[in-house]
Amino acid sequence: MKPATVHEIKQELSSLPPSQLAELCLRLAKFKKDNKELLTFLLFEASDLTAYIASVKKEIDQGFEDLPKPNLYLTKKSLRKVLRITTRQIRYTSSPQAEVELLTYFLSKIRQSGIPVDKHPILTNLYQGQLKKVHAVIASLQEDLQYDYKRGLKDL
């Protein structure tokens, strides 16, 4: 089965009555956790983005508390898990400012945790890759926001 294009889906959804549209959304939410999380964000948390960013930061903090520090292999796997969760939350917001804020928070938590990023090449690549991503997103923002975020990046 070949999926329909976004344009075709949009046309079909606009022709449906609201009750059937709600039914489709609920059915979609049953099949995948990501769909349910996205619907939760859009319905309940999209109106207050700062509170949502704060809750994601708490999730990042929890992930860093659970890091197995003596074992670098497990630390690397746990860092990737925290980054994967953070990236998924960023995708829900589709806001470049939220992306910069959350990724810089993630990078600052790596620095604060005392993980020897410079001594392990995989951790170095992970850190540098996220730093490049932050710089790319900052370049797409307005000049006054660029200045503010670049000042915050100097420590990283």
Verify that 77 and 100 share a domain, yes or no. yes
pLDDT(150) > 90? no
As a whole number of Å, the CA-based R_g of the chain is 19
Distance of CA 42 to the CA centre of its chain: 15
Token readout for 89 is 């939350």
Verify that 26 and 89 share a domain, yes or no. no
Verify that 21 and 38 share a domain, yes or no. no
Verify that 92 and 108 share a domain, yes or no. yes
Specify the long-range contacts of residues 4-13, CB closer than 8 Å, at least 24 apart.
none
Q: Model-level pTM?
A: 0.86
pLDDT digits (tens, 9 = 90+) for 79-105: 999 999 999 999 999 999 999 999 999
Total domains present in the chain: 2
> Torsion angle, CA of 53/57/60/64, rounded to 10 degrees?
170
Q: What's the pLDDT band for 70 if we cut at 50, 70, 90?
A: confident
pLDDT(11) > 80? yes
Verify that 63 and 2 share a domain, yes or no. no
Verify that 20 and 62 share a domain, yes or no. no
Q: Is the sign of the CA dihedral 50, 45, 15, 5 positive or negative?
A: positive
Q: How far apart are CA 38 and CA 40, in angstroms?
A: 5
Verify that 87 and 101 share a domain, yes or no. yes
